[in-house]
């Protein structure tokens, strides 16, 4: 099962399934606190220095079609809950009625070496992903 799209260059519609949170220094050892993805998080790297680093959360689909253990695109046999939440709770779409365990992957990047405000002129983040992110 896959989530996200490394070739995507514009914000995807639907729930925020990959999010970035700018952490304060005090949050570095606490895992960033709070929900996996909320309104303060962004689809892109934060456009400001993050003294505690950047927390990236990747949320996988939690609803299954109940028939296929895989699909040609490795995505269409699973789905996210309907609405604007990536976490399904107890709600799954009729097309994918079987609730499966939620998988969430969290990565903490120590970006303290890039805290110089000069790196963020014009709101541009100096960090990019290695798969061709612009």
User: What are the structure tokens assigned to 81, written together?
Assistant: 């809950």
**Within a domain: 102:** yes
* Residue 69 neighbours by CB distance under 10 Å: 8
How much is the pLDDT for 41?
85
Residue 23, domain extent: 18-47+61-113
Q: Which pLDDT does position 98 carry in this prediction?
A: 93
In a domain, residue 95? The reply is yes
Q: What total of structural domains would you count in the chain?
A: 1
Site of tokens 């050892």: 29
Distance CA 129, CA 123 (A): 17
Residues belonging to the chain: 134
The pLDDT value recorded for residue 81 is 80
The reply to whether 25 falls in a domain is yes
**Residue 127: closest CA among 61, 116, 78:** 116
The answer to whether position 76 is within a domain reads yes
The token pair that represents 84 in the structure block: 């604007």
In this structure, is residue 104 part of a structural domain? yes
Q: Is residue 130 part of a domain?
A: no
Written as tens digits, the pLDDT of the chain (134 aa) is: 778 777 777 767 766 778 889 888 776 555 555 667 777 888 888 888 888 889 998 888 889 999 999 999 998 999 988 766 666 567 888 999 999 988 888 888 998 888 888 888 877 778 877 776 66
Distance in angstroms (rounded) separating the CA atoms of residues 5 and 1: 12
Residue 12 lies in a domain: no
Q: What is the pLDDT of residue 65?
A: 96
* pLDDT score of 68: 96
28 lies in some domain: yes
């Amino acid at each position: 099962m896959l989530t996200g799209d490394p070739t995507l260059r514009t914000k995807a519609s639907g729930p925020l399934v990959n999010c970035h949170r700018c952490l304060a220094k005090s949050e570095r050892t606490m895992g960033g606190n709070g929900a996996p993805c909320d309104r303060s998080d962004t689809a892109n790297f934060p456009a400001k220095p993050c003294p505690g680093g950047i927390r990236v959360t990747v949320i996988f689909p939690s609803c299954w079609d109940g028939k296929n253990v895989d699909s040609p695109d490795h995505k269409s046999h699973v789905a996210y809950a309907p609405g604007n939440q990536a976490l399904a709770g107890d709600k799954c779409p009729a097309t994918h009625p079987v609730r499966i365990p939620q998988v969430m992957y969290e990565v903490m990047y120590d970006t303290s070496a890039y805290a110089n405000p000069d790196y963020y002129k014009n709101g541009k983040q100096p960090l990019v992903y290695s798969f061709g992110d612009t």
